[in-house]
Structure 1
Amino acid sequence: MTDSVSVARPATGGRRKIAIVLFNLGGPDRPEAVRPFLFNLFNDPAIIRVPNPVRFLLAKLISGRRAKVAVEIYAKMGGGSPLLPNTEAQARALETALWDEGEVRCFTCMRYWHPMSEEVALAVRDWNPDEILLLPLYPQFSTTTTASSLRVWNQAAAQAGLDKPTRLVCCYPTEPGFIRANADLIRTGLAEAAPHGKPRVLFSAHGLPEKVVKDGDPYQWQCERTAEAVVKELGIPGLDWVSCYQSRVGPMTWIGPSTEEEVHRAGKDRVPLVVVPIAFVSEHSETLVEIGDEYRHLAGELGVPHFVAVPTVMTHPAFIQGLANLVRQVRAGGGSVCNAFGTRQCPSSFSGCPHAAGGLRAAG
């Protein structure tokens, strides 16, 4: 994978100032931050869908119970999550790709750990842009990710007195640059696995409780469209592939099949695995530890002939150019919410889609 090439930028002069806010989940930057990070996560009404004070008490309980195991997970990555520096690298690459659009500055905005919406909204206000674009680093829309980030951003922007024209890119599950970047990285993984047998590709996304999807969340539908688009881009006849879901927590029934189940099936079938983090665009615990360590170890125990963990798209040039194209499309279009195609793409049965009647809107 090659990083984006730096391009000399002209003097800004009187060019229009564009603030791009990159939404991401965030992660603890040190062991002491693990428990408050987990509390913030489980105290989100989009994650634990019960009213306060019950949610607050559950968040306290769950974060306390999970903290020790989580600290051990982050210890494998040096004591903290690499998500923030990875997102910062993507921000700088995107600024470079958009040098001709105006005076562009990308702000990283994390949902559950710093920098969070309150501090980022103040920084954007102080920079005083002419317009704001909210660009989630969640390619597939979910009420648990993009909608949650947008809700707290709108609150923070209002509190900060940030009153600028604002637009949201709600999703880009089949954006061509995102698809090409994944296909490029998968080809390398397939070439590595091929000497060990016909590989099976697992498109692994973070899971959701079934109830969330049944309530109208389009995330699973969009993840499957992403996988189909990548398979089409690969153009490999007879490719063995499946969409699956990881990171299950709690007693609820989650969407499936689970990635763990698919690793077991590959062991029975004695086929090499190429595991693709299809809903993640930067490395963090779910990719480096859950896929790269835990599933790899499980595959070895189950007799999987070879295991390849495909890296995330990170600053792959095609992905960064795809994000830049999204920014240009949104700026050229109308409306406060854009899915990069100008029209709603989710079936009407998905009431959680922000293009549905009464759906989410970016403030500003």
Structure 2
Amino acid sequence: MFDAETTKPVTDTAKHLPADHPPLPKRRIGILVGNLGTPDNYDYWSMRRYLNEFLSDRRVIDYSPWIWQPLLQAVILTKRPFSSGAAYKSIWNHDKGESPLMTITKAQTEKIRAALTERYGDEVTVDFCMRYGNPSTKSKVQELTAQGCRQILFFPLYPQYAGATTATAIDEFFRSLLDEKWQPTVRTVPAYFDRPAYIEALAQSVERAYAELDERPDVLVASYHGVPKRYLMEGDPYHCQCQKTSRLLRERLGWPETEIVTTFQSRFGPEEWLKPYTVEEVARLAETGKKKIAVIAPAFSADCIETLEEINEEIRESFEEAGGESFTYIPCLNDDDAHIAALVEAIEDNLVGWVTPAA
């Protein structure tokens, strides 16, 4: 084994330290996976803290703080915690006292850890953080460095890159290094929207879902989280990467173009967002005779409020009120083995030069 920073053989340095030197943990490589975040609970104040952190992020809402913050603090955060809290309560994992996103991210991390430990032994340590809420990115960076991680690979769990998701997660990761006396060497995993293993995992989830249905859906709606159209015009690649994911999925399934529709959900505020809007498009499909649809959410690595509540309730309701008859939601990839294999493959590709498999 070699030191990835010096290419010299790693030796036991402890015996060369003076007696009063602080102890040094064994040198490791940290893998930190990051997801969006979750409130600690669905009560008013938990929701307000979470929404305040989220909606104060200039990557998410880039309006002038002089205009936005008075509106956020005086109007939005007095009302929205109640409605958002009710939505979270409807999907909450009451047995574990946490949101489904937290439950799923923990399961994903455990499986990733098991796979990497089997391959690299105790040379690596794996943990997760949230961009908003707990566990914070900063707390996990501190834990990893305290455990001896002189290199950290940060992996934002967003298949498609967007400034409002991937970039803000990376921003927070680098901000977390500011207080480290001895900063680790770091890398970030790029968006994996077109990696064959990810597309294969998506395709398998569609095939499994369709195999369980009595009747084949007329259309598969690939619903991605929306962003303002202005972001696309300003250079954000998210829209293009979503379109490519849908195309690659369709090509892997061997379907004609008419059987997959790409849409965007979760619009917020008055300006135009990426279109078509999912809630409107499913109604249009029903009105034009597409009475059986399935919906998949390829932009989400784990089921969360936007899939379990928005898709399964609001979007489903829009389809059925417009005359739709059969609505099937295909769950996110979550901790499915094919998904975990795709994530592990991306991690291993980005660990090259840092660590070699255990003998």
TM superposition score category, shorter chain reference? 0.7 to 0.9
Q: Does 1:75 align with 2:89?
A: yes
Q: Does 1:323 align with 2:334?
A: no
**Which residue of structure 1 aligns with residue 61 of structure 2?**
48
Match of 2:104 among 53, 73, 86: 86
1:270, CA displacement in angstroms? 2.8
SS in 1 for 2:191: coil
**Which residue of structure 1 aligns with residue 238 of structure 2?**
219
**Which residue of structure 2 aligns with residue 189 of structure 1?**
209
SS in 2 for 1:111: strand
Match of 1:34 among 39, 47, 60: 47
Q: Does 1:267 align with 2:286?
A: yes
Deviates more, 1:243-252 or 1:115-124: 115-124
1:58, CA displacement in angstroms? 3.5
Taking the aligned partners of 2:144 and 2:63, their CA distance within structure 1 comes to 32
Pair 1:162–1:180, CA change in 2 (3 A): farther
Taking the aligned partners of 2:182 and 2:260, their CA distance within structure 1 comes to 46
8 A Cα contact 1:177 1:320, kept in partner: no
Q: Which amino acid aligns with 1:84?
A: M
**Which residue of structure 1 aligns with residue 274 of structure 2?**
255
Pair 1:193–1:66, CA change in 2 (3 A): same
8 A Cα contact 2:222 2:296, kept in partner: yes
Q: Which amino acid aligns with 1:171?
A: A
8 A Cα contact 2:51 2:81, kept in partner: yes
Match of 1:240 among 253, 256, 259: 259
Taking the aligned partners of 1:277 and 1:56, their CA distance within structure 2 comes to 31
8 A Cα contact 2:250 2:257, kept in partner: no
Taking the aligned partners of 1:161 and 1:102, their CA distance within structure 2 comes to 27
Taking the aligned partners of 2:100 and 2:137, their CA distance within structure 1 comes to 19
Taking the aligned partners of 1:187 and 1:93, their CA distance within structure 2 comes to 23
Q: Does 1:332 align with 2:346?
A: no
**Which residue of structure 1 aligns with residue 80 of structure 2?**
66
Pair 1:102–1:16, CA change in 2 (3 A): farther
1:44, CA displacement in angstroms? 0.2
**Which residue of structure 2 aligns with residue 287 of structure 1?**
307
Q: Which amino acid aligns with 2:240?
A: W
Q: Over residues 294-323 of structure 1, what are the superposed CA-to-partner deviations in whole Å (9 max), with x where a residue is unaligned?
A: 222222222212110000001111111111
Q: Which amino acid aligns with 2:47?
A: V
Q: Which amino acid aligns with 2:53?
A: N
Taking the aligned partners of 1:262 and 1:168, their CA distance within structure 2 comes to 35
8 A Cα contact 1:270 1:305, kept in partner: no
8 A Cα contact 1:109 1:116, kept in partner: yes
Alignment of 1:1-12 (within 5 A): none
Mind listing any 5+ residue stretches in structure 2 that lack a counterpart?
Answer: 1-11, 13-25, 355-359
8 A Cα contact 1:264 1:299, kept in partner: yes
Under a length normalisation based on structure 2, what TM-score does the superposition of the two structures give?
0.84
Deviates more, 1:285-294 or 1:235-244: 235-244
Taking the aligned partners of 2:125 and 2:66, their CA distance within structure 1 comes to 39
SS in 1 for 2:224: strand
1:16, CA displacement in angstroms? 6.2
8 A Cα contact 1:244 1:256, kept in partner: yes
**Which residue of structure 2 aligns with residue 22 of structure 1?**
33
Aligned pair count?
321
**Which residue of structure 2 aligns with residue 96 of structure 1?**
114
CA RMSD of aligned residues (A): 2.1
Give % identity: 30
8 A Cα contact 2:33 2:157, kept in partner: yes
**Which residue of structure 1 aligns with residue 16 of structure 2?**
none
Q: Over residues 8-34 of structure 1, what are the superposed CA-to-partner deviations in whole Å (9 max), with x where a residue is unaligned?
A: xxxxxx996221111111111312311
SS in 2 for 1:282: coil
Taking the aligned partners of 2:58 and 2:71, their CA distance within structure 1 comes to 11
8 A Cα contact 1:34 1:70, kept in partner: yes
Higher Cα Rg: structure 1 or 2?
2
Q: Which amino acid aligns with 2:62?
A: R
SS in 2 for 1:101: helix
8 A Cα contact 2:27 2:148, kept in partner: no
Pair 1:56–1:118, CA change in 2 (3 A): farther
Mind listing any 5+ residue stretches in structure 1 that lack a counterpart?
Answer: 1-13, 335-364
1:118, CA displacement in angstroms? 2.1
8 A Cα contact 1:193 1:274, kept in partner: no
